[in-house]
Structure 1
Amino acid sequence: MPKYFRLISLLVICGLWSAPRTAHAQALIPHTLQLDTAKLEKQGLSLAQEAAQLGQFQQYELALPRARLASQLAPKNDKVWFLLGGLHLQTKNYDAAIAALTQANTLNPKNAEVLFALGSANFQQKKYQAAIDNYQAGLKLKPNDPEGLFDLGNGYYMVGRLSDAIAQYNKAVAQDQKFWPAINNIGLIQYEQGNVEAAMKQWQTAVTLDKQAAEPLLALAVALYTKGDRQQGLTLGETALRIDQRYANLDFLKENLWGDRLLSDAKKFLELPRIQAALEQR
């Protein structure tokens, strides 16, 4: 509905406007609705807080309408736009996420987290160079952020700048020695390059850091089995899939940046009767 008709409806509801009567000697003096912008903004921030809480519990269908309304009531608050963009990102509405996050960045260009989120939205749309630009801009503001460094590494990985990707992963680990996803991804690159032993060492390190990390455990299992250590490979593979069965899906593995060589070996591994039996038990 056009904005004009919304205003008229609001005036009618509030009793501040009625159908015009025939004018005689005096012209009709229009009434105007006085809006308390501070009060509206306060209501918007309250709605944003509700939306954030709902988002934490992944209740996005309830969170999004509140966040949208909050952005209308508090349009100059960059945090509200950041929240709205983040919710759209979680629901994979990437165009809407980019629009909201761009507005947040316009209002506050010094928030590195907004730039990192923009990078994620562009990355998910396979706009890797745009994502790299976002990550680089975020890291200028927050240069030692492990996740930002990791994300930039992923961007480099996807455009084939493998040495640059490894450098960023190593920087992420230098900032957080327990940041196993960066260690895992170094292994992914090394495996594709044919350096299987080095890749396995990376995955062993990642598993040592987090015994519930299914991805490096499955990658290690696939590498061991392919290399000839079948019994240990099968045992580790069963353990990995008990932790997280999503890794039995090749599309999911590809989303997690598994390369062609590792995917090919994983496909054979996942089709093994013992692994299939383990999946059926789950």
Structure 2
Amino acid sequence: MHNRIFPNQPLTVDDSHKTTPEREIQPATFTLDSITTLFEQGLQKLSVGDYEAALALLEQVLAVQPDIPNVWEKRSVVLQKLGRYGEAVETNAKAMQLYQAGAKALVVDVTKGWTAEQWAIEGDGLFFQGRYEDAIAAYNKALNLKPNFYDTFYKKGVSLLNIGRYREAIAAYDAALTLNPNLHEAFNNKGLSLAKLGRYQEAIAAYDAALNLKPGLHQTLNNKGLALAKLDCYEEAIATYDVALKLKPDKHSTLYNRGLSLAKLDRHQEAIAAYDAALKLQSNLHNALYSKGLSLAKLGRQKDAIAAYDEALAIKPDLYDELFNKSVSLRESGQYQQAIEAYDLILALQPDDCTALYQKGLVLHELGRYKEAVAAFDATLAIQPDNYKARANKGHSLLKLGRFNQAIAVYNATLAIQPHMPDVLCSKGIALSNLGRYKGAIAAFDATLTIQPDDYTALYRKGLVLHKLARYEAAIAAYNAALAIKPDCEKVLQRKESALFKLALHRRHHRL
């Protein structure tokens, strides 16, 4: 989480000045022109900084016409200027509600002849309402009149940053810093804009400039740590987070970011401790729970990892990554049915997720549910026809179903995409041998052994085919090669004894 700095932005809501104005509504004494005049007078008072007078005039308008959205909007600006932030937020919400309901604004134009200061105040009000494009336009008008307003350049930069116009934001911050080189907020937010553009080295330099001016900026330290982590400088990032946490130990975002860097260094126990510290401060941090689950899984603690993923999903049920990693942990811990349920949840969110479809097919195969596995692999291939792994595993499921001709066709299609897959060549050999196509089977096993000479299954299966063809000496050689890999394999020893016996009988018969 990055932190932006905006001058005089409230950190807490202060409702201590909150009042409910009493109004005497006398609509008969007011005309539209008189209401408009009151509104214009209120705006004029706002533009010159006479906020109490502006509020009184706006209150008079609202006493008569309480459904004019832009009057509420300007009341919100005045309350913000007076430091009555809680009321300002409520008033702005009322304005938005009226706008959404289609209420008509009161049309006035009091901007003719405005000073730079008035345009700057207008920009601040628009910024507070989240109307960043309009705020930028107002700031530009102020700067056209007075190009030495460094704080207006800065606020323009913040508005540009908020709408993702990072290069323009950097230019605005640079203009502010040319006028006031001691504006640490501008250095911090310039760093944020540079980081958004992937220019992390420059971002770090900007953060350092801010910290040189004001060393105790924990937000800037956190932002610097994030930039260092992006450059894979995890040790330096952790050291930076540690400095930030000395200044503000209860900053959950810094603790979380520290955990991420520790995890990148495979220091998962420490990472988990950092995530737990963040969660102690704010228990609904689903990202921290998810990252904790990843570290637990890396430590082989799959059950605990699943519990962490479940906690994250309880907070935010549509978290794709959490669901996916939970399914991986379930599969690795042998909880196949639960893994399938997790894949189904993923597919409910993203029906065309090839990875989830493919992984679901693998789990179904593990459970012996081969027909369903084939269907899952087919669904994968419908989206990704060249997914040779899905095609190969479809062949394996068909082989288990005894559908040997179909399996061979699938294996051939797989090998056309990826010819050097020993497991596919070997499985093709098994399917061919089950159909009595022994010559083709031996060729498939030989192709397997060319790629992987110590493939125990290919050696053993080749021995079986040679045995059936009464090529006992060659079968014994294949069995011996298999036993060199697995010396105590009982079934190979038995087959070898059988081949030796039949070879002896064959030789005796020929001597007679």
Judge same fold: TM > 0.5, yes or no. yes
* Deviation of 1:83 (Å): 0.7
User: What TM-score comes out, normalization by structure 2 length?
Assistant: 0.40
Alpha-carbon distance between aligned partners in 1 of 2:292 and 2:313, rounded to the nearest angstrom: 12
One of 331, 342, 347 as aligned partner of 1:274? 342
> 2:46 aligns to what?
none
* Deviation of 1:44 (Å): 2.4
RMSD of aligned alpha carbons: 2.9
* Deviation of 1:280 (Å): 5.5
8 Å CA contact 2:289–2:309 kept in 1: the answer is no
Given the superposition, is the C-alpha separation of residues 47 and 234 from structure 1 closer, same or farther in structure 2, using an over 3 Å criterion? Answer: closer
Q: Partner amino acid for 2:122?
A: L
Q: Partner amino acid for 1:174?
A: K
> 1:218 aligns to what?
290
Give secondary structure in 1 for the equivalent of 2:181: coil
One of 42, 50, 53 as aligned partner of 2:125? 50
Given the superposition, is the C-alpha separation of residues 112 and 278 from structure 1 closer, same or farther in structure 2, using an over 3 Å criterion? Answer: same
Instruction: Point out the structure with max Rg over C-alpha.
Output: 2
Asked if residue 142 in structure 1 is aligned to residue 210 in structure 2, the reply is: no
> 1:40 aligns to what?
115
Asked if residue 228 in structure 1 is aligned to residue 302 in structure 2, the reply is: yes
8 Å CA contact 1:206–1:216 kept in 2: the answer is yes
Asked if residue 109 in structure 1 is aligned to residue 181 in structure 2, the reply is: yes
Gaps of 5+ in 1: 1-37, 251-263
* Deviation of 1:184 (Å): 1.1
8 Å CA contact 1:184–1:206 kept in 2: the answer is yes
* Deviation of 1:269 (Å): 6.7
* Deviation of 1:212 (Å): 2.5
Asked if residue 208 in structure 1 is aligned to residue 280 in structure 2, the reply is: yes
8 Å CA contact 1:237–1:275 kept in 2: the answer is no
Moved more, 153-162 or 194-203: 153-162
8 Å CA contact 2:204–2:228 kept in 1: the answer is yes
Gaps of 5+ in 2: 1-112, 332-338, 350-512
Q: Partner amino acid for 2:229?
A: Y
> 2:135 aligns to what?
63
Give secondary structure in 2 for the equivalent of 1:143: coil
Where in structure 2 are the equivalents of 1:1-282 lying within 5 Å? 40-55=115-130, 59-225=131-297, 227-229=301-303, 230-242=305-317, 248=320, 268=328, 273-274=341-342, 277=345
- Deviation by residue 1:167-191 (Cα, 9 ceiling, x = unmatched): 1101111111111122112211221
Alpha-carbon distance between aligned partners in 2 of 1:122 and 1:94, rounded to the nearest angstrom: 7
Moved more, 157-166 or 122-131: 157-166
8 Å CA contact 2:153–2:172 kept in 1: the answer is yes
8 Å CA contact 2:262–2:270 kept in 1: the answer is yes
* Deviation of 1:60 (Å): 2.4
Alpha-carbon distance between aligned partners in 2 of 1:66 and 1:267, rounded to the nearest angstrom: 52
User: What TM-score comes out, normalization by structure 1 length?
Assistant: 0.71
* Deviation of 1:40 (Å): 2.0
8 Å CA contact 2:117–2:142 kept in 1: the answer is no
* Deviation of 1:163 (Å): 1.6
* Deviation of 1:122 (Å): 0.6
Give secondary structure in 1 for the equivalent of 2:316: helix
8 Å CA contact 1:47–1:70 kept in 2: the answer is no
